[in-house]
Structure 1
Amino acid sequence: MDLQILPLAITMMAGPQIVAAVVLVTTARPVRVSLAFLLGVAFATTLGVAIARRIFGLLGSVVAPGSPSDRGAFETVLQLVLVGLLVVVAVKNYVKRETVEPPKWLGSLMRAGPYRAFMTGLLIILAMPSDIVVMLTVGASLRQHGAGLVSAVPFIAATVLIAALPLLVYLLFRKRARRAMPRVREWLTTHSWAVNIAACLIFIVLILSP
C-alpha cells in the first residue's frame, strides 16, 4: 500500500477529533469513555475505508480509464480540486479566527457516558469532510494496488493510536495529566482554527508530494 500512513492518520485526527479525545480524559470516568471513543473511531475508520474501496471498485473504469494518460489527467485534476478546496478552508479559518467558536457538542462531552463517547467517535470520523477525503484516498490506493482491507490495518491502527494519545498521557502521568489536560483542552478549543489550518496544510503536502 503506497501511502504515507502516519501523516494521513494525523490528518484524520487533526481538528475537533483530537479536541474531543482531550475533553473525554477530563470527564469523571476518563478511561471508560475514552475507550468507548476509541472503539467508535476504529469502527468508523474501518467502515469508511471499506466503503471507499467499494466505491472505487464500482466506479472502476470511470475513475481509472484504460489509458495511462487519461489516468494521469484525472489524477491531476482531482489533486488540483482537492488542493483548491483545502486552501479555501484554510483561508476561511484564518480570516474568521477571531470569531470562530468551538462546536457546542464539544462542551456537552463533559457529561458523556460510554455510549455517547462511542457515537462521538463514530460520527466524528464518518461526518468530517477532511476524514472522508482521507478515507477516499486510502480506498482508492487499495483498489489501485489490488489490495484488500487488511492492507489498511496500519493506517487504521495509526489513526486509533493518535486518537489514544490523550488517554495514554493520562494513564502515564496521572496527577500531572489531570492538572494539564484542562489547560490543553482550553487551548485546543480556543485555537481550533489553527489546528484546522495545520490539518489542511498537512494534507496539501501529502497530495502534492510525488
Structure 2
Amino acid sequence: MTPLARRALAELLGTAFLVAAVIGSGIAASRLSPDDVGLQLLENSIATGAALVALIIAFQPVSASFNPVVTLVERALGRIGTVDTAVLIVAQVVGGGLGAVVANLMFDLDAVSVSTTERTGGDLLLGEVVATLGLVLVVFGALRSERIETVAFAVGGYIAAAYWFTSSTSFANPAVTLARTLSDTFAGIAPSSVLLFVLMQLVGGALGAVVVRLLHPSPSQETP
C-alpha cells in the first residue's frame, strides 16, 4: 500500500469513527435523558471530545486530520500537495457517510434518514466561523509543541468546550456536517442548512491559516 493510500485509509476510518461517535452519542443521549436537552448536549460533547482524543492518538502516526478544513489549511501552508489534499478530503467525506450509516444501524434506525433539523441564522453562522477558526489555531499551534502527543488532548478538549461556547455547537468540519444530514436525530442537520455552514467553516479555516502564518512563520514538519 502506498503512503497516500495508507493516509487515505486512516482518514476514512478516523472520520467514520468520529461521526459514529457524534451521532451515536447524540442518539444515546436523547434516549437516556429525553427531557433534558442540556444533559443531552453534555453527554454528546463529552463522548465526542473523548473519541477525538483516542482517534487522534491512534491514527496520528499515519494521518489524523479527519477534517477537510484542516487538510486544506495543510495545503495552504505547503505541508501537503494538491493531489494528496483531494484524495484525503474524498476519504474524509466517504468515511463520514459510512460513520453516519453505522451509527444509525447500531441504534436500530434506518441506515439513512435525512435530517429535518434546520440550523439557520446569522448567530449560528458566526458560531461556525469562530469554532473553525479556533480549531485551526489549536491544531496547528499544538503541532508546534515540544510534546506532539498534546495535539490529541488539545483538539478533544477544544471541541468538547466549543459544543458549549459556540451558538452552533461547533460542527467545524465539512465532512462531519455532510454526514450529519444522514441521521434525523439529535446531532442531525437539514441538507438545506449545510451550504452556509460549510461556507462559514471555510471562512474560519482561511482566517485560521492567516493567523497561523502570522504566529508561526516557520512551518512545522509534523502532520496532524
Q: TM-score, normalised by structure 1?
A: 0.34
Looking at CA atoms only, which structure, 1 or 2, has the larger radius of gyration?
A: 1
- Of Structure 1 and Structure 2, the greater helix share is in 1
Q: Which has the higher contact order (CA 8 A, sep 6+)?
A: 1
